[in-house]
Chain A
Amino acid sequence: MRLTCTVNGKVETIDDVWPGESLLYVLRERMGLPGAKNACEQGECGSCSVHLDGILVCACLVAAGQVEGAEIKTVEGLAGATDLHPVQQAYLDAGAVQCGFCTPGLIVATVDLLEKNADPSDSEIREALAGNLCRCTGYSKILDAVRLAAVRLEGAGKH
């Protein structure tokens, strides 16, 4: 089938998509956007988190056909031309990246959280990121990164 959708602000049209493919497969294997990761492909790990029409979803659980005409934002669409997104920079500065396989999904989920709640409590951060598994860090530095990003975004008046 032919699929047309907007990805990171750019309209993409792709032919020969097998209807059984997931949005994750289409992004990774047909659009050259491997940032969303394939760690479980059953919606348990959050590594493939993307925004679909502004809603945080696991791309592995969305069928390709469901995104016809939709607007998708992936981790690749977050950074500016010269600077990283403040959430990306905070993950680096806090040491929240080890193997990094969970990182793109966590960053997308953190951006989603901070857009809705500029000053989350630790409890709110934990609840919001509970769907994103990380096996390396033990989450301490991920919490540091979210707090740091919240402070910087607040300071920059982005909310």
Chain B
Amino acid sequence: MSNSTLPTKQRDHVEAPVLGGLGESVARPDGTLKVTGDFAYSSDLWADGMLWASTLRSPHPHARIKSINIAPALKINGVSAVLTHDDVPGSKLFGLEIVDQPVLAFDTIKYHGEAIAIVAADHPETAKRAAQAIIVEYEILEPVVDADYAISGKAPIIHDGGNITRHVPIIFGPQNLKADVVVKGEYEVGMQDQAPLGPESGLAIPADDGGIDLYLSTQWLHVDRGQLATVLGLPPEKVRLTLAGIGGAFGAREDMSMQAHIALLAMRTGKPVKIVYSREESFFGHVHRHPGKLRYEHGVTKEGKLVYVKANIVLDGGAYASSSPAVCANAACFAVGPYEVESATIDAYVAYTNNPPCGAMRGFGAVQTGFAYESQMDKIAETLGMDPIELRLKNAMVRNSLMPTGQPVDSAAPVAEILEKLRDMPLPPLTATTDGFDVIELPGGASNVTHGEGVRRGIGYAVGIKNIGFSEGFDDYSTAKVRLQIINGEPVVEVHTAAAEVGQGLVTLKGQIARTELGVQRVVVHVSDTQVGSAGSTSASRQSYVTGGAVMTACRAVRDEVLLYAMEKLGHLHPHLLHFRANYKMINGEIRDGEDHLVSSLADLVKDRVFECTREYRHRPTTPIDPITGQGLPHAQFAFAGHRAVVDVDIETGMVKVIEMATVQDVGKALNPQAVEGQIEGGTAQGLGLAILEEIQVVNGKVKNPSFTDYLIPTVLDMPPVRSIILEYADEHAPYGLRGVGEAPTISSTPAVVAAIRQATGLALTRVPVRPEHITSTI
């Protein structure tokens, strides 16, 4: 198994030029490389003399490590290194919010799939076999697998400090109100996986200065660098990260997975080390969406006005904290949904258990509550005999409505308009189930064994709310470096940030902003790396806002410097420049005054000079929430979306076919309409997946379905056409009025699909994903 690997093409340092400004559906600058197969993802990298890494993971969810014998692995031909926790030179622990997770396990295994040892060898198969040759002696312990039990005070303690990772209470308005009608419900959300198609992968190359260079997939280069520096015992400047091509993320790449492992192996062997997780390892190697139990009580008037909402939410955070504390806060803050209510009493908990660790996934705590509060709204409507849209309209938030935290929603909140537009969109025709229909159109498709006599149509609605940007007082910023110079007689702008392009199209948007702000055609967007300041995370739907804001600010700084230089050189010809600089424009490679008269072409003015500015951008400050009352101003921006789902359900087989998803979302300003639609359609699909397909099945702490054979993400047969309406109510606080787009569609999609199945079947359906047996067993 010698490794006579050939080099694959390395990506250029500078991407292809971007054409097109803001508001246009500009093509991706990396698009051509992606359709020809030449785009270098982190799994495609290669270096001379490179070794392959493999991981040994625990088969047990809870066990004490009695001994680790690496000798059998070291004896295998081609193996260069076998490392355990003993070989970690710096901190043995890492973590995003709480530093509690071992780089390599020591003492106690806390979940099924925890990494114990790592191997570097000359061929991936050799590395895999060597990892399997390591002998670990375990003392098997009983796992804590139920989150309610974990926080009951009766369970064994998983981490010092107890099993409650965080408790977020919210006490809003007068308490203990009475209401005409009380509706209670208990809901459950299964464990969803982000399942990005690109596996965790990267290449670590030891450097001559004793530092290390890493090329990998991540959502936040600088937070990886900080964690790696402490694990490796190196100063941060000696840990240099470059973003490789990323095959999707959706939250799965917020925590470190393989980063420290390949860095440790590269530093030990002195050789480049590459790793690519298999799909199975990917399921064990990243955190998942928190499963949860949500117990609700709504008090409403006879007319359908919400009086109070009480919610008790318990999320299972699994073995390590990851971003659980922030997910828990989101679950609490968005527990009521996009509705006004006089009184709210919310307790959200996130628990340590011996289940797989859970953290960030698209929607981040607002998904779980979205399913619960929208299920409650439908139950209330049914109890009152009221139309579910009518009930929602009666309670819909408007601008300046208060969140349960007491925070006013001080920009557009077009919840009512979203609902009305959903209701008014035309409906798809009924599926023909008499003569001449195609069996492929039935729920279950070609596998359907009936003649469609049990098919029932259902229509369901849901709306959702989600925050944009990091919350609770976090200093949430991004950095951009923008350079303008003349190359071959033409003005060229370079944009450099550390922001992670995970597929969403930020790489396109950065060019659009520079082109619009500086009036040039040619923009080159640098590959993201740690040579510039932090961009923050590609999460919380924040990059268009914060990194977009940083690029905008840096471009405007460059423009200002160019105009000052123009004043210096041409002020004698253009006296207005002295006092009315702000009226001057840079457009089509020229500077023009307020009356649109030419001042100078950029090429003539700038000549050999280089204008370069680096700027940080922050969204407006937020505040922590009070630990007792949950009151505060924790959020920078809110996003609203709604869905209408139309489904056919075969009540004999339990098969569900979603016929159409309609959606309405306020995006503030669609800076790239095609990319916005892509986010909305993709988010809708992930919500549909949680509604009827996707769940990591964990039985007594053990993951049963770590493969695409058994963990089902929607295929093109499962995903119906999406009919979308985009609203553009500019947010006066945000750059260009934009509103983060990525997550909102994932929230209302799930409850809309379940509401439609309920309407078709008359079943209560309190758990997602809804499986065929939930439909057939109770009819």
Contacts and interface: CB of A to CB of B under 8 A. Distances in A.
Q: Do A and B bind each other?
A: yes
B4 interface: yes
Contacts of B23: none
Interface residues of B, number: 70
B5 A29 contact: yes
Nearest to B247: A101
B594 interface: no
A20 B719 CA distance: 36
Contacts, number: 198
A54 interface: no
A100 B1 CA distance: 31
B197 A134 contact: yes
A16 B2 contact: yes
Interface string B220-261: 000000000000000000000000011111100000000000
A65 B719 CA distance: 37
Contact of B248 (A28, A30, A101, A130): A101
Nearest to B441: A123
A138 B31 contact: no
B34 A141 contact: no
Contacts of A40: 279, 707-708
Given A34-B40, A137-B682, A92 B7 contact: no
B278 interface: yes
Nearest to B674: A95
Contact of A143 (B31, B35, B502, B716): B716
Contact of A99 (B8, B248, B675): B248
A141 B677 contact: yes
B345 interface: no
A92 B6 contact: no
A106 to B, nearest CB: 9
A34 B248 CA distance: 17
B707 A100 contact: no
B503 to A, nearest CB: 3
Contacts of B84: none
B162 interface: no
A75 B276 contact: no
B504 A98 contact: yes
B152 interface: no
**How many interface residues does chain A have, given as a range?**
35 or more
Contacts of A25: 124
A76 to B, nearest CB: 5
Contacts of B713: 133, 135
Contact of A127 (B197, B199, B246, B717): B717
Interface in B295-342: none
A87 B530 CA distance: 36
A92 B37 contact: no
Contact of B37 (A30, A34, A39, A129): A34
A53 B8 CA distance: 24
A159 to B, nearest CB: 21
Contacts of B28: 92, 97
Nearest to B276: A38
| Residue among A33, A74, A134, A135 having the largest count of chain B Cβ atoms under 10 Å | A135
B1 A132 contact: no
Contacts of B196: 99, 101, 135
Nearest to B195: A135
Given A97-B28, A126-B717, A28 B681 contact: no
A44 B197 contact: no
A61 interface: no
Interface residues of chain A: helix, strand, loop or mixed (majority) = loop
A101 B198 contact: yes
Interface string B674-702: 11011001111110000000000000000
A136 B682 contact: yes
B682 A35 contact: no
A34 to B, nearest CB: 4
Interface string B532-566: 00000000000000000000000000000000000
B30 interface: yes
A32 interface: yes
B715 interface: yes
| Residue among A78, A95, A107, A133 having the largest count of chain B Cβ atoms under 10 Å | A95
Contact of A39 (B6, B199, B503): B199
Interface in B701-750: 707-709, 713-717, 719, 721-722
Interface in B31-69: 31-32, 34-41, 43-44
B427 interface: no
A136 B4 contact: no
B457 interface: no
B685 A139 contact: yes
Given A104-B37, A139-B719, A44 B709 contact: yes
Contact of B279 (A42, A107, A129): A42
Contact of B34 (A103, A135, A138): A103
A91 to B, nearest CB: 5
A34 B274 CA distance: 15
A7 B414 CA distance: 55
B36 A79 contact: yes
Contact of B681 (A29, A125, A133, A137): A137
A98 B678 contact: yes
Given A42-B708, A92-B27, A135-B248, A97 B715 contact: no
Nearest to A88: B35
A93 B259 CA distance: 35
Interface of B: 1-2, 4-9, 25, 27-28, 30-32, 34-41, 43-44, 123-125, 194-199, 245-250, 276, 278-279, 438, 440-441, 502-505, 674-675, 677-678, 681-686, 707-709, 713-717, 719, 721-722
Task: Please provide the 10 A-B residue pairs with the shortest distance between their CB atoms, ordered closest to farther.
Answer: A35-B37, A99-B503, A101-B247, A100-B34, A138-B681, A138-B685, A44-B708, A34-B44, A98-B503, A75-B37
Interface of A: 14-16, 18, 20-21, 25, 28-42, 44-45, 47, 74-76, 78-79, 84, 88-89, 91-93, 95, 97-104, 107, 123, 125-127, 129-143
Given A40-B708, A133-B713, A136-B248, 6 more contacts: A28-B8, A40-B279, A44-B709, A100-B503, A107-B35, A137-B682
